[in-house]
A and B are shown apart, each in its own frame.
Chain A
């Protein structure tokens, strides 16, 4: 449902996968992806900029282990931390929860305002139902005298929830609202909910009207009702309503669809006012209390943040990798294995970076022709393999034994038969080479030995002048690119960040 966002965030994670140190340079592409996601979620551009600046600041901090869903500790990678930072920042931005309605007035007054068609009347009915269930005695006021049949609509809603509706034909909203207060006292209703007409923030005379209603009845709550599907204009409209009315909080409606509700983030950020309720359907019981975690997750597009962190593990299918390594060392490697493995491995970054990080290879980077590390070239190579049949991919020897197949493959991918033949020969040679490597270590325990070699082989990458790929600390070298902080230093750093955040919040309004 929220794939656009979650896709964006997932690819942001992919862009970071395998990177061990969050620097401005390696964060940049990920930030870009997050920006795209948030734009698609209709978060306002200025808000996005500020949000990203904060997340970046946070992610450049250290790496913190988290509890898993069942309470066990899980290993948290820098990229997980980055997602967590997005989420934390969002939750912090959206919260704290303040769904309370100050209902102390005699009677208490709630005034509903917003653009045309945002859901004010429906939400009025939903609130009435809710308050009724809490033992209050609401009175609804039909202050929308402009939209055709708006009064009828509220009357119908009132009848459905079993709450009286106050309206006087021909009376102006300000006067009507004042009278409603007297009426409520007379008939013993203790909450008055005023359903006003929809209006544009730039409609000066209509905005003046709500300001006058406000000063006439002194509402305990003014709720700004906004459609979750609203676009970039949300900020301007909300800011203007807030400037005129200083509303108490806002209600986000129509969240039962696929709107990502980015406006909630924008409005909260710009007005500093809390989300009070969420509308999740046309029926009058479909009003939910707001939970920042829920909405933050929705805007981000994940269901379960910790689960997502564990998802990282899936990038590398250990069993699969093991099996194909073994096959490789036994000389049984196929094109299919190659495609499967390479697809998995490539998720972790461009070829060049991956090679640079490989112990034993990073030291030989200079010897590998640069064009060999070109991802586009690799794609072209993969296209040739893509033109093979499944059978050929599973049994590479078919191509050797029936050379006619080479022509078909060549035609399929628009290359010459020589290209295909050269590729196939290299594949066979490489396979032979791998087998030799496996034999050397003495099958079938080759794998274990290889592992030991890799593990112990940290020194490979530590060769002088190596491991200098941008964004990567030297492999195996014992001088990390960024000095690790002591616990105290970390705490101090965290404190400083918190203080900064507080200051920022203060300045917001």
Chain B
């Protein structure tokens, strides 16, 4: 037997016929085991059939239709505005759906439907989940494509609404921690959010918690100026925890009722950097016991499947209350919004649709669905 093995790994085998031989020991053991398996299955089956066939049948044949309330007509004005803002890209997606739902329902239609959702970065599990009810309807004989399209919209809407929670600024001291990978749009989002809050009459303080990247504090300073917020910053290389501490002290002393904390971009796989976030969090909760009230993950809308890994791992390091998806003014379809809702039940709260100060929108499931399909 020893010999058999060494021959296996050291012999050059040219003939394909020789490749077909299975290791001998495998045949011995394998044959026995398989025979045994068959024998046992026959035994189990013989018994099981008589006793459990009936109830099983009942279960599988129960109607599986789920009643879903049809959504009211989405506010046309809002959807239109969003669709425009979301750019030319989603128009192309719409056209694709128009085309797909304009033809007969068959396997190839479903295949292309799947591909359309995948091409929007919805991800495989979520795509399958979204298409399941449509497939079921088609299987039960639904032949009208427009009914299926309605079902698609309804499924996605339900998915998004089930996890949806809009951003609700607390009237008294509101501490917001903003996290995300490098370059996702954290600082810009903070600038936009600050501008919105200031215009609502809030007194906003920004904390320059990114002490690592070159000129990160200078960038936030520009945004503070643009938005009419105040800022607390230290020099490059300082301890982010110290910046946050100072910011919370300053807010208490100077009467700010919103503190938004910028952090350095970090890839979710970098353990020490993720631990640093927990430390920042501890500093916050020492000063503000129920803070941070909001921990937002900023995800780049052009990202693919990595967005899910980001959401998962950031959520582990510092429990998230919501997600901001940026750069949706580009051609990327932002299908990860669906994945975040379906797989992680994380609400998308805001979306970024440009680099300007007013390019921030609340995420609205109905409008998103209307603009998507």
Contact = CB atoms under 8 A, between A and B. Distances in A.
Interface in B218-251: 218-219, 221-223, 226, 236
Interface stretch (B31-39, B139-147, B254-262, B280-288): B31-39
A316 B33 CA distance: 13
B19 interface: yes
Interface stretch (B70-78, B149-157, B162-170, B176-184): B176-184
Nearest to B28: A325
A152 interface: yes
A258 B303 CA distance: 13
A233 B306 contact: no
Interface residues of B, number: 92
B302 interface: yes
A488 interface: no
Given A42-B305, A342-B37, A258 B268 contact: yes
B183 A454 contact: no
Interface string B45-59: 111100100000000
B29 A341 contact: yes
B193 to A, nearest CB: 15
Interface string B291-320: 000000000101111110100000000000
A345 interface: yes
Nearest to B87: A202
Given A202-B89, A230-B304, A233-B330, A381 B41 contact: yes
A40 to B, nearest CB: 5
B44 interface: yes
Contacts of B355: 116, 146-147
B39 A430 contact: yes
Contacts of B66: none
A227 B183 contact: yes
A294 interface: no
B305 A231 contact: yes
Contact of B37 (A65, A282, A378): A378
Interface in A433-453: 434, 447, 450-451
A384 to B, nearest CB: 7
Interface in A391-432: 415-416, 418-419, 422-423, 425-427, 429-430
B364 interface: no
Interface stretch (A101-109, A296-304, A365-373): A365-373
Nearest to B313: A258
B333 interface: yes
Contacts of B215: 149-150, 152-153, 155-156
Interface in B179-232: 181-185, 191, 212-216, 218-219, 221-223, 226
A231 B121 contact: yes
Interface in B322-343: 327, 329-333, 335-336
B59 to A, nearest CB: 14
Given A316-B26, A454-B27, A257 B327 contact: no
A39 interface: yes
A426 B39 contact: yes
Interface stretch (B4-12, B130-138, B365-373): B4-12
Contacts of A423: 40, 43-44
Contact of A65 (B14, B32, B33): B14
A152 B218 contact: yes
B23 A418 contact: no
A229 B25 CA distance: 46
Q: Which of A42, A325, A418 has the most CB of B within 10 A?
A: A325
A282 B302 contact: no
B88 interface: yes
Interface residues of A, number: 117
Contacts of B305: 39-42, 231
A116 B329 CA distance: 12
B119 A342 contact: no
Nearest to A257: B267
Mostly helix, strand, loop or mixed at chain B's interface? Answer: helix
Nearest to A342: B33
A359 B14 CA distance: 23
Nearest to B219: A149
A148 interface: yes
B19 A36 contact: no
A290 to B, nearest CB: 20
A429 B43 CA distance: 11
B124 interface: yes
B1 A322 contact: yes
Contacts of A357: 22
A387 interface: no
B89 A351 contact: no
B349 to A, nearest CB: 20
A325 B28 CA distance: 6
Contact of B51 (A358, A416, A430, A447): A416
Nearest to A360: B31
Contact of B304 (A117, A262, A372): A262
A377 interface: yes
A257 B47 contact: no
Q: Which of B4, B29, B191 has the most CB of A within 10 A?
A: B29
A38 B123 CA distance: 11
B48 A451 contact: no
B307 to A, nearest CB: 8
B32 A358 contact: no
B41 A374 contact: yes
B44 A384 contact: yes
Interface string A216-260: 000000000001011111101100000000000000001011111
A173 interface: no
A351 B37 contact: yes
Interface string B255-277: 00000000000011110000000
A509 to B, nearest CB: 22
A416 B34 contact: no
Contacts of B303: 227, 229-231
17 contacts: A42-B305, A45-B115, A117-B184, A156-B236, A202-B88, A232-B119, A232-B332, A233-B330, A254-B181, A263-B304, A282-B212, A318-B4, A324-B29, A328-B32, A345-B34, A359-B27, A374-B45
